[in-house]
Chain A
């Protein structure tokens, strides 16, 4: 029933966002404004957030159309560092391909690639100190790869096998590596946001020099934790770097469902009094430069920064997702910011520090390395093939010490296994 209709007013209508292209449509990104390199020059790292609003609406870029690094944001990295960056991004891509295939082969239950977003984990991590704490979402495996975490250990976790450091308790890709400054990944979105702030507050309160960096996707910015985190970070001037990987998609929902039709994600920072930068997420040098700016700012008590990486999720959300069911087929190929790996490679070639031959050779080398690592990991078992941590370990680490009720339940489980597998199971 509709109450109180007034003749002189047009009826209200509810706006439900709709992406511009659906399956069968021809994608056309000509409306995306890609500003010139250095359209907004690099401000001082202690600039007041109020004075740099334009950066939250612009797009920090370093690599121009001619593949050269130019402008005030150019971090001026040497060729060795650039090649190391390229190598990490290619290794990440090779790892993703291999693990995606492993899931398709039934060796594990689940995988998530970061195809097209490699710069947002690799270049960012290279701009941090090795003991800064990263609070990733599930699409920043590039942090571990950049910090030389063993691929075999990543694979062991994906296979939930006897070598899995997390003892088969966690869904594949939910890594945890404290020694590598990589916080335990949770399935619950954006919970890591206030946690990163708390970690940074702790570091500041102990007069430490370490900072924290946290990642989430565009969709996850809608969670309440995002607001709590930005509020706390602003209130306590916490040395934390907020990062939003705006890859346009949250599973099947385009970024409009997180509010992108009205403003940028970087602009969210403005209301909190936090520095906000919007960055070409497929320009590894721009990503590095923005992260370095924010890290310097945080490290010198300049306060928090929110960085939005404007990028595109090149493939499905996960191995359980078919993007062909909700978006146009060739969006990634038409994406105006290109591919982060190709752009970095083209830059290295343009400055005479790399060649197509070297590139092909490196891809083969990394592919072989990943394959060898996979072979090694599979010796510890694959999911569902029996090689796992002892069953009793299911009950460990719920608490520091196991209380009586868990001991009872553990004994019950062991009896069930004896019933199921007979006496030979006992001698395992």
Chain B
């Protein structure tokens, strides 16, 4: 069998490709959101899709996140497979009641009578001078909700494969796209030039259909000294810092936060004896707290040092002080120093 044709894609192109593949493959797939139709999305994720697949498959909506997600729930109840876009994760809150009270519980409360195979795509995360309402990372609001799956890719290859799997999944999925790495991975060294995806692993993307199963983490760097659990933009920041300081870290890109790949996590921490969790989101009650608790329960007798959490601070995301807020190389290096001391 010949290798499927691959193409170098950035994350936006990979997401566009996933949507294109699924629109062609499954007539029930419908894409909607603010500016996603004719214009092709403010980040170009849906560029060309309306023209190719028609206005009843890919269309613009009123500016109403409650409406977008609520209408999506109704479409899913009918039998469609809606893929609504929320323009920024910071603006998902007006749709939260529909996600938490409706989409997440539909299968459970109706005992499988009605289901909600909907994938809500939304750009998220900071590092782009987005200030308070273009930078947030609200993933822990969703991992706390029973009945929703939460997925965050870190490479173009993963973005396409995970998005296809999310769309095919019969449960509601929140698919957060780290917009800082739409065009190229980000090292966290904001004063260094940014390289495009074409120079990095994960940008060779098959043009056709493939999927990456939800609930499976990726070990992006094997190591013996410490396990780092992270996802999204921070995968690349951690990789850069580990390379800079020559730390023998095992870096795990969780990819799916819920359901969590606990086996991969547990095996790694039991091997290294140390665990650091890293995310952009604020610290208190962030997803890192759940990760730290799981590792503590499962690997307690293997731990040689307290679990470290490297996160955003517990403040709204600031504009001018972004690089003092962002969990970048200095915060990471200090955490590595601390965890390796014991």
Complex Cα distance A400/B149, Å? Answer: 11
Complex Cα distance A165/B113, Å? Answer: 9
Q: CB of B108 within 8 A of chain A? A: yes
B38 to chain A, nearest CB (A): 15
Q: Which of B56, B71, B78, B258 has the most CB of A within 10 A?
A: B71
A135: B residues at CB distance < 8 A: 74
Q: CB of A105 within 8 A of chain B? A: no
B295 to chain A, nearest CB (A): 14
Pairwise interchain contact B171-A169, C-beta atoms closer than 8 A: no
A400: B residues at CB distance < 8 A: 107, 115, 169-171
Q: CB of B77 within 8 A of chain A? A: yes
Q: CB of A167 within 8 A of chain B? A: yes
> Which residues 393-420 of A sit at the B interface, judged by CB distance below 8 A?
397-400, 403-405
Give how many A residues have a beta carbon under 8 Å from the other chain's beta carbons: 46
Contact of A225 among B66, B80, B111, B259 (CB under 8 A): B66
Q: CB of B146 within 8 A of chain A? A: yes
Q: Which of A178, A187, A195, A228 has the most CB of B within 10 A?
A: A195
Complex Cα distance A405/B265, Å? Answer: 14
Give how many B residues have a beta carbon under 8 Å from the other chain's beta carbons: 47
A149 to chain B, nearest CB (A): 13
From A55-63, A229-237, A345-353, give the one contacting chain B.
A229-237
A237 to chain B, nearest CB (A): 13
Nearest residue (CB) in B for A165 is: B111
Pairwise interchain contact B64-A198, C-beta atoms closer than 8 A: no
Number of inter-chain CB pairs below 8 Å? 145
Pairwise interchain contact B74-A169, C-beta atoms closer than 8 A: no
B93 to chain A, nearest CB (A): 12
B135 to chain A, nearest CB (A): 25
B61: A residues at CB distance < 8 A: 232, 235
B119 to chain A, nearest CB (A): 14
Complex Cα distance A225/B115, Å? Answer: 20
A196: B residues at CB distance < 8 A: 74
B101: A residues at CB distance < 8 A: 186-188, 191
B67: A residues at CB distance < 8 A: 194, 197, 228-229, 231-232
From A71-79, A201-209, A372-380, give the one contacting chain B.
A201-209
Q: CB of A170 within 8 A of chain B? A: yes
Q: Which of A174, A184, A398 has the most CB of B within 10 A?
A: A184
**Known contacts A191-B102, A231-B62, A231-B67, A397 near B78 by CB under 8 Å:** no
Nearest residue (CB) in A for B70 is: A194
Pairwise interchain contact B70-A191, C-beta atoms closer than 8 A: yes
A133: B residues at CB distance < 8 A: 77-78
Q: CB of B2 within 8 A of chain A? A: no
> Which residues 177-218 of A sit at the B interface, judged by CB distance below 8 A?
177-178, 183-184, 186-188, 191, 193-203, 205-206, 212
Q: CB of B147 within 8 A of chain A? A: yes
Pairwise interchain contact B97-A195, C-beta atoms closer than 8 A: no
Nearest residue (CB) in B for A208 is: B78
A153 to chain B, nearest CB (A): 12
B74: A residues at CB distance < 8 A: 135, 194-202, 212
Pairwise interchain contact A178-B75, C-beta atoms closer than 8 A: no
Pairwise interchain contact B70-A225, C-beta atoms closer than 8 A: yes
Complex Cα distance A227/B108, Å? Answer: 27
Complex Cα distance A405/B259, Å? Answer: 8
Pairwise interchain contact A397-B75, C-beta atoms closer than 8 A: no
Q: CB of B17 within 8 A of chain A? A: no
Complex Cα distance A186/B62, Å? Answer: 25
Nearest residue (CB) in B for A230 is: B67
Pairwise interchain contact B97-A201, C-beta atoms closer than 8 A: no
A169: B residues at CB distance < 8 A: 108-109, 111
Q: CB of A166 within 8 A of chain B? A: yes
> Which residues 156-182 of B sit at the A interface, judged by CB distance below 8 A?
169-171
Pairwise interchain contact B78-A198, C-beta atoms closer than 8 A: yes
Contact of A231 among B64, B69, B260 (CB under 8 A): B64
Q: CB of A176 within 8 A of chain B? A: yes
Nearest residue (CB) in A for B114 is: A184
B19 to chain A, nearest CB (A): 17
A167: B residues at CB distance < 8 A: 111
**Known contacts A191-B101, A398-B146, A176 near B109 by CB under 8 Å:** yes
A224: B residues at CB distance < 8 A: 66, 94
Pairwise interchain contact A184-B147, C-beta atoms closer than 8 A: no
> Which residues 89-111 of B sit at the A interface, judged by CB distance below 8 A?
94, 97-98, 101-102, 105-111
Nearest residue (CB) in A for B71 is: A198
A405 to chain B, nearest CB (A): 7
Q: CB of B4 within 8 A of chain A? A: no
- Mark interface residues in B20-47 (1 if CB within 8 Å of A CB, else 0): 0000000000100000000000000000
Q: CB of B112 within 8 A of chain A? A: yes
B110: A residues at CB distance < 8 A: 166, 176, 178, 184
Pairwise interchain contact B62-A235, C-beta atoms closer than 8 A: yes
Complex Cα distance A212/B66, Å? Answer: 19
5 new A-B contacts, CB < 8 A, other than A169-B108, A174-B109, are A133-B77, A200-B74, A225-B97, A400-B171, A405-B260
Please give me the 10 A-B residue pairs with the lowest Cβ-Cβ distance, nearest first: A198-B74, A194-B70, A228-B67, A198-B71, A195-B74, A202-B78, A403-B259, A184-B110, A176-B110, A199-B74
24 pairs of residues in contact across A and B, judged by CB atoms under 8 Å:
A135-B74, A167-B111, A169-B108, A169-B109, A176-B109, A177-B113, A178-B113, A186-B105, A191-B102, A197-B70, A198-B75, A198-B77, A198-B82, A199-B78, A200-B74, A203-B78, A206-B80, A224-B94, A225-B70, A227-B64, A228-B70, A232-B67, A400-B115, A400-B171
